Every structure is written in structure tokens, then in C-alpha cells.
Chains A and B, each alone.
Chain A
Amino acid sequence: MLKSKLRYFLFHLIVGGFGILLLYPVIWLLISSFKVSEDIFVTVGSLIPSPFTFDNYTQGWEGFGGNSFGVFIKNTLIFVIFMLIGHLISCSLIAFGFARLKFFGRGFWFAIMIASLMLPYEVVMIPQYVIFSKLGWLNSLAPLVVPAYFGHPFFIFLLVQFIRTIPRELDEAAIIDGCSTFGVYRRIILPLITPALATTAIFTFYWTWDNLLGPVLYLNSPNKYTVSMALNMFLSNDSVSNWGAMFAMSIVTLIPVFGIFFLFQRYVVEGISTSGIKG
């Protein structure tokens, strides 16, 4: 009894203490957002803002040229939702195909998929931009979200690896019970890869949230800008940047991502137990 209490205490001491160490930079960011812009770099080591100011938040929230930060957050949320739907549906379908079905050219397409991850975006973006401009998709979300409905190699590969850890006997039992191939995907595999799907959702959420280059390339009207673009607009190349406001808005934009993670991480770790199927 005593031993387990000691272990409990030690666990929280180590994990909690280490967590605070890791979080120091985030805490620094949070506290700096309450400092006067000019003080941020002068009082780097200090974790007490003096004077304490909320101005950075009000100033930052105003945004630019009549578009408040709320507009940018709304735009980003819409962007994220389209991406989430696209990735969750398409990647799980494609991953099931690669992981469970035997068909001609499977290895070939799989290799192509992995290889397409290896070419830096910088060199394909110009031709891709020309394609999307020919399609008349510029200044809209289409070039950013439509490809999501055709899968993303990272998530496909992730889901493939998870599906491959599931014993095949389960599929076969379902087929004997009269399930079609699609039924196996829908009734057996999908519930069992909940943790991986939740992971996909979390990653999609914050990668989209964070995506800078895509929106920069394809969104022209400021009222369509996303938060990552808006954050950069506090910076100045030839005069003084508004660091305070940028830090403040960084914190604000962190809140939705943080919330989503907190909600979804449960599914990452609880997936198996809710499905009720043991190993």
C-alpha cells in the first residue's frame, strides 16, 4: 500500500515536473503576451509582467483593415472542417484498400504514394498553381481542400500500419457471417482504428490550422485569410514589429487547437475499450 502510494507520488513528481520544464517556453509566451511590446525583449528572464497590460489582446483582436481576428479564426475553422471530412473519409478508405485487399499493382501504387511525400512542395507548387489557376480556383479554398478528398499519404500510411496490427481472423469471421468487403471496412476495421482516426483528426486539425504556405499562395482577399497568415502580418521587415499583439493572438489561436486536442485525445487512448472487442 505504502509502496504504491510512493510510486504514485513519484510518478506525478517526475511527469508533472518534467511537464513544467517542457512547458516553460509556452508559459514564457503566455506571460510575454501581457507585457508591453517594448518590454518583451528587455525583461526576457522575468516571468512577471510589469506593468501588466491587456492591450496586446485588444489591439491584436482588431486585426487588419476592418477584418478582426474573429474573421480569420472563422475562415480557418471552415478550412479545417473541410479538411477533416476529406481526410477521415478518403484516408480510411484508401488505407483499407492498401492494408487488406490483394490487387494487381498494390505495391506499385503504395511506393508511388510514399514517394510523393519525398518531393519538397517548393518545386511542385508553381506547376500546381498553374493547374489551379487554369481551373479558376484561385482566391478560394478549393485548391487547398479539394486534394484532401483524395487522401493524404501520411495518414494513409498511418492507417495502413494500424490496420495491419488487427488480426485478419476478424475480417474472415465477418465475411463468413455475410459481410461484404465494404461491410468489413465499415463494421470491423473502422471501429477498431478509432485511435488512429482520432490521431488523424488531431493532426489534420492542427496542421491545417498551422498551414501557412497554402493559404499564402491561394488566398488573395484579406477577408479570406487564415490565422497563420494574419499572425505574420504583425511582423514588419522595415520597421518595428508588434510582438505583443502577435504573442497575444498566438495564444488566442492556440485555444481552439488545445481544446480539440483535449477532446480528441480521449479517443486516441480509449478507442479499443469502447469497441468492446478484445485483441
Chain B
Amino acid sequence: MNRISIIFLGFIMVLFLAACNSNNTSTGSSDDGLSVNETNGDNGEEQITLRMAWWGEQTRHEYTNKVIEMYEEQHPNINIEPEYASWDDYWKKLAPQAAANELPDIIQMDLIYLTQYAKNKQLTDLTPYIGNELNVDNIADNVVSGGELNDSLYGFNLGTVAMSWDYDPAILEEIGVNSIPENWTWDDYMDIAKKAKDAGYYIDGGLWEDPFRYYLRSKGERLFAEDGKGLGYSDDQLFVDYWTMAKELVDMGAVQSPDELAQQSGPEDSAQAKGEAAGVFEWATMFIGTQKVVDRPMELSPPPGPNVDKGLYLKPSMFFSVSENSEHKKAAAEFIDFFVNDIEANKLILGDRGVPASSKVKEALMDHVSESQGKVFEYMSWVEQNSSTLGAPDPEKSGQVIESLVNIADQIKYGEITPTEGAETFRNQAESILKN
């Protein structure tokens, strides 16, 4: 009994300490998002607090906070409250905030969720701010339009990425390929794969769903129909051809088997990192991370053709959106402009959120970025000249369709179903998901 009392007493003491402590830190709770309208005596400007949310890891949090500081120094009436988390946690936070009308003013947004959040006016249309608060003089039209949906602009593009085949030239040479042939084709690719296999290497980590979208586009088709009500390609043979190729590579032993792939924890123990594979299909901005874990000189190449330019497109890497419930949309737009166009700010950002949208910023950064980033910038400049427009964004239910594609692709690679069966199953599932 005595001991319990002592423990309880201890708790209560700590409670008091804690209560004092938490009083200091818990200023400004839920109504952060609402206006804090205090007139600033000096210049009569309105004191504004903006909530800004993003996902990322250590380095992104560090430099974004610095950019915010820089902005607050230049705009003493603006106070930006950061809310950041890891990718998984970020989306768990955002969904209930949307349901409760508590979204932050500035939201980092990804292409796969843009349609979902833009619907029902969670996000505000940025069109009125274009050319005013948001300066787009140095940004290509097709880059800005990446965040467009039904003629409204729901996300401001922070940078672009494109599909690439990133490889280790030394391994290619070892297997008897001195350089990737210019305008290489899928036939060349399969040839190299055979050579790699014969020399005891993998060609890459295998074909997956994003290169499939590239493949469809290079054949003049798309994964989703323009109206988002069904699949964008009518000939299932395209599906069969691509995934047959994927399965052939597995059977041949030229790529990792799906079970081996599943065994990996992350890029750190991938076949590339371990020096077992010549290359990898990935989004160009991932090159920097891959280069870091591979630790041998690597290069970027466009994926195999024909019709590379039809297949490639500039994918918005991420957006800043402004929530509809924000009371300071104009101030939010001004900050986004700073983030995208200010050169000093971008010297901190260094292309971490995608290859900068503004050509001027990109030029200015050239001398400041690392070697691997320089290679990515260079590749993206090439892609800008050799790509087609993004087209309509993915429909609302795209996430579920992609998941079904991934599952079917897995089943094909594991040999559970044939590519022909897969094509039919995928069409049935996708259409039943998309039709309602």
C-alpha cells in the first residue's frame, strides 16, 4: 500500500511539472489554420500565420525550415508553421484533416492523390494567381499544366521527373557492351539482357508497372482513358507483349526472380547496390539515391525505343497545393512563388523536390549541384526536348487500378498465370473499378 502511495505521489509531482511544461508548448492549437488577425502596429500589415505540410526525411526537413526562415525574414508579417512527417504518416494525417475541414494552408501533394483531393473542392484553383502572385515566366506551359484538372489548376508543380534506365558503364563493358546504342530498341535491350546473363550479371531489377506506362505511350496508347472511365489501350496484345518480355527475363535469369526481389529491404541491398546488376528502370530523380548506394560511376539513358519521345513525358514530381479552407490563399500563393522562383532559396533546395520547374533556377543551380544531380539535370533537359505531353491526370480510382496491375504482374512473374490471362483479368478488374 505504502509503495503504491509513493508511486502515485511521484506521478502527481511529475504531472505538475509536465503540466507547467506543456502550457508553454501548447500555444495555438486547432485554430492554427484559421486566421490570426492582429494588426501590426508598424506598417499596418496584417499578421498572417500559414500552416504548411510536407512529407520527407531529415535533409528535406532541414532545408525547408531554412527556406521558411529566409522567407519570414523577408516578410516579417508572415509566420509559417511547419507540419512535416514521413510519407506514410503524412497521408494518414491528411485524410482526417480533409474530412474535418482542417487542412493546412499549403499542402505538398503527390500526383497519385491530386485527383482525390482536388475533387469536392478540398484544394483551391490556383488559376487566378497565375501571372500575378505566381510568376510562371520561366516555366514551360506543359510543366505548369501538370497540376491541371478539368481546366482548374489544383497543384503548382515543384519540379519534373521522367523515366530513365540508369546503368553502370563498367558492368556493361564487362559483359561486352561498350555503350548503349543510340536509339536503342527493346530488341537491343533483350540482347544486352542475354549478354548480361551469360556474363553472370543481371540486366536490371526487372520490368515493372511504370515502365509499362512508358511502353504503352511509346505505342501511342495510355494506361488510362482520357475521361478516366476505363483503360486507355484497346489492344490487349500490348499488355501481353510487355509482360511476356518481363516473364522471359525472369525465366532467362537475366533479372532477379520475383521472390528474390521481395526479399530485399530497400535500395541498399538491391542487385545494383551489390554490383550484381547492370542497370535499373527508375524515375530520373532516384538516380541520385541509387548513385549513392551503388558508389560506382553511373549514367542515365533513355529507356529503349522505338518512339522514345512519344513514350517519355515530364511527370510532375510533386506539387504545392493550397487548401480551399485556407483564409490566406494569396499569401500562400506568394510563398509558393518564392519557393519555386527564388534563386537563393533554390540553392538550399537543390532540386530535392524534382528538377526545378523554372529554367532560370535550373541554370543558376548548375554550378551548385553535385555531379550526380548535374547528370540528372542534363538528362531532364534532353527529355524536355524529346517527350510528349502528360495528358489527363490519372483518374480518382487509379491507385486501386495500379495496385491490381502490380498484383497481376506479380502473378505473371511468379508463373501463376500467363500474360494473356493477366491481360484479361486486368481489363476486367480495372474497368469494374473505374466505371463507378
Chain A residues packing against B (C-beta within 8 Å): 37-38, 40-42, 64-66, 74, 77-78, 81-82, 84-85, 88, 125-126, 129-130, 133, 136-141, 187, 190-191, 194, 197, 212-213, 216-217, 220-224, 229, 232-243, 245, 267, 274-275
Within the complex, which residue of B26, B102, B274 is in contact with A42, where a contact is CB–CB below 8 Å?
Answer: B274
Most-contacted residue by chain A among B1, B12, B53, B286 (CB, 10 A): B1
Within the complex, which residue of A41, A194, A274 is in contact with B269, where a contact is CB–CB below 8 Å?
Answer: A41
Q: Interface-forming stretch among B17-25, B148-156, B299-307? A: B17-25
Within the complex, which residue of A66, A191, A240 is in contact with B292, where a contact is CB–CB below 8 Å?
Answer: A240
Within the complex, which residue of A129, A212, A245 is in contact with B100, where a contact is CB–CB below 8 Å?
Answer: A129
Given contacts A42-B274, A82-B15, A220-B32, contact A274 B62 (CB under 8 A): no
Most-contacted residue by chain B among A81, A125, A238, A243 (CB, 10 A): A238
Given contacts A66-B65, A129-B99, A216-B93, contact A267 B3 (CB under 8 A): yes
B363 to chain A, nearest CB (A): 24
Within 8 A of A (CB), among B269-307: 269, 273-274, 283, 285-286, 288-289, 292-293, 295
Given contacts A139-B29, A237-B86, contact A41 B268 (CB under 8 A): yes
Q: Apart from A81-B11, A220-B53, what 5 extra A-B contacts exist at CB < 8 Å?
A: A65-B64, A220-B83, A222-B82, A229-B89, A233-B85
Within the complex, which residue of B12, B56, B64 is in contact with A85, where a contact is CB–CB below 8 Å?
Answer: B12
**Does chain A have a CB within 8 A of B424?**
no
Within 8 A of A (CB), among B252-277: 265-269, 273-274
A42 to B268, CA, bound (A): 8
A125 to B31, CA, bound (A): 20
* Residues in chain B near residue A65, CB distance under 8 A: 61-62, 64-65, 82, 84
Within 8 A of A (CB), among B327-382: none
Given contacts A38-B293, A82-B18, A126-B99, contact A136 B29 (CB under 8 A): yes
A66 to B65, CA, bound (A): 9
A261 to B86, CA, bound (A): 29
* Residues in chain A near residue B18, CB distance under 8 A: 77-78, 81-82
Chain B residues packing against A (C-beta within 8 Å): 1, 3-4, 8, 11-12, 14-15, 18, 21-22, 25-26, 28-32, 51, 53, 55-58, 61-62, 64-65, 81-89, 92-93, 95-96, 99-102, 104, 265-269, 273-274, 283, 285-286, 288-289, 292-293, 295
Within the complex, which residue of A37, A81, A235 is in contact with B14, where a contact is CB–CB below 8 Å?
Answer: A81
Evaluate contact between A217 and B274: CB separation under 8 angstroms: no
Given contacts A240-B267, A243-B268, contact A216 B1 (CB under 8 A): no
* Residues in chain A near residue B84, CB distance under 8 A: 64-65, 222, 233
A234 to B3, CA, bound (A): 41
Within the complex, which residue of B1, B55, B58 is in contact with A275, where a contact is CB–CB below 8 Å?
Answer: B1
A60 to chain B, nearest CB (A): 9
B164 to chain A, nearest CB (A): 14
B360 to chain A, nearest CB (A): 25
A250 to B125, CA, bound (A): 42
* Residues in chain A near residue B30, CB distance under 8 A: 133, 136-140
Given contacts A64-B61, A64-B84, A267-B3, contact A38 B268 (CB under 8 A): yes
Q: Pick 24 A–B contacts, CB within 8 A, sort by A.
A: A65-B82, A77-B18, A129-B96, A130-B99, A138-B102, A139-B26, A191-B1, A216-B89, A217-B93, A220-B93, A232-B88, A232-B89, A233-B84, A233-B85, A234-B57, A236-B57, A236-B87, A237-B87, A237-B88, A239-B57, A239-B286, A239-B289, A241-B266, A275-B1
Evaluate contact between B61 and A221: CB separation under 8 angstroms: no
* Residues in chain A near residue B25, CB distance under 8 A: 223-224
* Residues in chain B near residue A84, CB distance under 8 A: 11
* Residues in chain A near residue B62, CB distance under 8 A: 64-65
* Residues in chain B near residue A213, CB distance under 8 A: 92
Evaluate contact between B96 and A125: CB separation under 8 angstroms: yes
Evaluate contact between B57 and A233: CB separation under 8 angstroms: yes
Given contacts A129-B96, A130-B100, A229-B89, contact A224 B11 (CB under 8 A): no
Evaluate contact between B85 and A216: CB separation under 8 angstroms: yes
Most-contacted residue by chain B among A81, A187, A217, A245 (CB, 10 A): A81
* Residues in chain A near residue B274, CB distance under 8 A: 42
A139 to B100, CA, bound (A): 13
B174 to chain A, nearest CB (A): 21
Nearest-CB residue, chain A, relative to B21: A78
* Residues in chain A near residue B269, CB distance under 8 A: 41-42
Within the complex, which residue of B57, B83, B104, B267 is in contact with A222, where a contact is CB–CB below 8 Å?
Answer: B83
Nearest-CB residue, chain B, relative to A243: B268
* Residues in chain B near residue A37, CB distance under 8 A: 268
A9 to chain B, nearest CB (A): 34
Closest 10 CB pairs of A and B: A138-B30, A237-B87, A41-B269, A129-B96, A239-B289, A236-B57, A65-B65, A133-B100, A232-B86, A64-B61
A59 to B8, CA, bound (A): 37
Given contacts A222-B84, A232-B88, A242-B57, contact A126 B96 (CB under 8 A): yes
Within the complex, which residue of A81, A133, A138, A216 is in contact with B15, where a contact is CB–CB below 8 Å?
Answer: A81
B280 to chain A, nearest CB (A): 14
Evaluate contact between A141 and B29: CB separation under 8 angstroms: no
B283 to chain A, nearest CB (A): 8
B151 to chain A, nearest CB (A): 30
* Residues in chain B near residue A38, CB distance under 8 A: 268, 293, 295
A139 to B25, CA, bound (A): 11
A191 to B56, CA, bound (A): 49
* Residues in chain B near residue A235, CB distance under 8 A: 57, 86-88
Most-contacted residue by chain B among A84, A236, A243 (CB, 10 A): A236
A89 to chain B, nearest CB (A): 9
* Residues in chain B near residue A245, CB distance under 8 A: 58
Given contacts A41-B269, A81-B11, contact A233 B92 (CB under 8 A): no
Evaluate contact between A64 and B58: CB separation under 8 angstroms: yes
Evaluate contact between B85 and A41: CB separation under 8 angstroms: no
A32 to B73, CA, bound (A): 42
B13 to chain A, nearest CB (A): 10
Within the complex, which residue of B29, B56, B85 is in contact with A138, where a contact is CB–CB below 8 Å?
Answer: B29
Nearest-CB residue, chain B, relative to A242: B58
* Residues in chain A near residue B55, CB distance under 8 A: 237
